[in-house]
Amino acid sequence: MSIRDATAMSVGADGLVPKERYVSQEFLDLEMEKLWPRVWQVACREEELPETGDYLEYTIGDQSILVVRTDPGTVKGYFNTCLHRGTRLADGRGNFGDGQIRCRYHAWRYALDGQLTEIVDRHEFPEVPSDLRLHEVRAERWGGFVFVNMDRAAEPLIDFLDPIPKLLGPFHLDQMRFATYRTTILPANWKVVVDAFNEGYHVQGTHPQLLAWTDDVNMEYVQFDTHAHYGRLAHARRELRPSPRLGLRDDEIDEGAILSSLVSGLGGLFYREEREIVDELRSSPLPPGTSLLEAYQQRRMEMLRSRGLDVSGLDRDKMTSADDVYWFPNMVGPTYPGTAILFRVRPNGLDPDSSIKDLWTLQWPGPDEPWKMPERKFYPDWTAKDWGLITNQDFANMAHIQAGMKSRACHGLRLNPRQESNLLHMHRVIDRYLTA
């Protein structure tokens, strides 16, 4: 099958998603030509650029973009290339101390707003116009994230994100701050990595230990125009139930044990003191007519309020129900009251078999805790760190998925039409870009 065919067909006549979309160099090249230069993507968070002159380099494929705070209220993005002979102007992150972006090679200089301000031996460049500026990319912000888009004609970010701002607005992501920032390299296509966090179908196969406190079967999958959601959207978690796959009778279900596993098992999503609240509720009689879940939700709401957090937009059920959102094309993860775990995944350079994964946890800073940017940790080899059981299990699958698809006998992916519907949706949205 030619790559152009694989593009026009998220699903082939055989009902399969062509594997070329995950394993071929040509398909990645096509994404690099048509998807990544046109789509809004998260470059960083605002708190990474607190001061005027702060910059940060965001890379996607072989492209590098400089995100710069040009004044207290403005963040701009530039292609990271000198107008003289193309040298990358800066890397990593830092501050353009004197308000000048200075090329390391022949010392051409630019103001923070991109204006070329100095050409060394100017008189020898009579042809160069005096109003040259660095090539700008669109940079817009929502929820504390700085998004960039290389397409000057792209729709406004807020329209692209719809309905995420509506859905996640009450969680005030803009008031959250990084709690941890880790990055690793995974041996699989970027979409393989995204897929692993965009469905619950693999829970029984990969994370059987979760079934005791997770109803993996009754998850809902909702596709929006561009983005998607999984978990309970219409009605939040009202009961503490294990997976129906375990076939337990009602009298075999211990709600207290489920709640306690939920709070400790999803580690990063709950505050440390919440385990104590669960223990306390389990060991004392509940107010009459109140379930354990309701009592806990009430306590959690009070705890968040006492930390000075605005929970006015969140109902009680939301206290124990994350919104798992797939932010097309490459960010996925649960947002909870007070916390969020977000994974950003990118191709690693131009390699279809490797990706860069950022694992971010965000938190509302507590009332008396001054926030400080955590150290960004980079693990070039994911096996060098213990990521916790659930993530270790997911990561261990990656190389096998990528290698297995390359088998001569594998022609494509047979997606579960309900539980893996978000994956198919992603392919269809990718095709909107590839065929436009």
Piece of 4-12, 182-190, 320-328, 392-400 that binds Fe ion (CB under 5 A):
392-400
**Size of residue set near Fe ion by CB under 5 A:** 1
CA distances from 285 to 207, 229, 251, 300, 305 (A): 33, 37, 19, 18, 24
Asked if 87 is part of the footprint of ligand FES (rule: CB under 6 A), the reply reads yes
User: Please, which residue, 103 or 186, has the CB nearer to ligand FES?
Assistant: 103
Cα 86–90–91 angle (5° rounding)? 115
User: Please, which residue, 64 or 180, has the CB nearer to ligand FES?
Assistant: 64
Q: Which residues of 67-88 are buried (b: 16+ CB within 10 A; e: fewer)?
A: bbbbeeeebbbbbbbbbbeeee
For residues 411 and 4, the answer to whether their CB atoms sit within 8 Å is no
Amino acid at 370: P
Question: In degrees to the nearest 10, what's the CA dihedral of 387, 393, 397, 398?
Answer: -20
User: Please, which residue, 274 or 394, has the CB nearer to Fe ion?
Assistant: 394
Shortest Å, Cβ 185 to Fe ion:
18
376-379 vs 177-186, strand pairing mode: parallel
Shortest Å, Cβ 348 to Fe ion:
21
Both tokens assigned to 384? 């060098």
User: Please, which residue, 4 or 85, has the CB nearer to ligand FES?
Assistant: 85
- Decide which of ligand FES, Fe ion, none touches 394; Cβ closer than 5 to 8 Å per partner kind: Fe ion
User: Please, which residue, 90 or 168, has the CB nearer to ligand FES?
Assistant: 90
Q: Hey, which residues between 101 and 120 contact ligand FES (CB under 6 A)?
A: 103, 105-106, 108
- Please list, in sequence order, all residues whose beta carbon lies within 8 angstroms of the beta carbon of residue 115, skipping any fewer than 6 positions away: 131, 132, 133
* DSSP string for residues in 103-156: -TTT--EEETTSBEEE-TTGGG-TTS-TT-BPPEEEEEEETTEEEEES-TTPPP
Candidate residues 358, 394, 420, 431; the one interacting with Fe ion per rule CB under 5 A: 394
Question: In degrees to the nearest 10, what's the CA dihedral of 288, 292, 298, 301?
Answer: 170
**Size of residue set near ligand FES by CB under 6 A:** 8
Phi, psi dihedral angles at 411 (to 5 degrees)? -110, -20
Stretch 57-86: interaction string toward ligand FES, x if CB under 6 A? -------------------------x-xx-
Shortest Å, Cβ 86 to ligand FES:
6
Shortest Å, Cβ 17 to Fe ion:
19
- Nearest-CB residue to Fe ion? 394
3-state secondary structure of 318: helix
Shortest Å, Cβ 148 to Fe ion:
29
Piece of 88-96, 235-243, 313-321, 388-396 that binds Fe ion (CB under 5 A):
388-396
What are the residues binding ligand FES (CB under 6 A)? 82, 84-85, 87, 103, 105-106, 108
What are the residues binding Fe ion (CB under 5 A)? 394
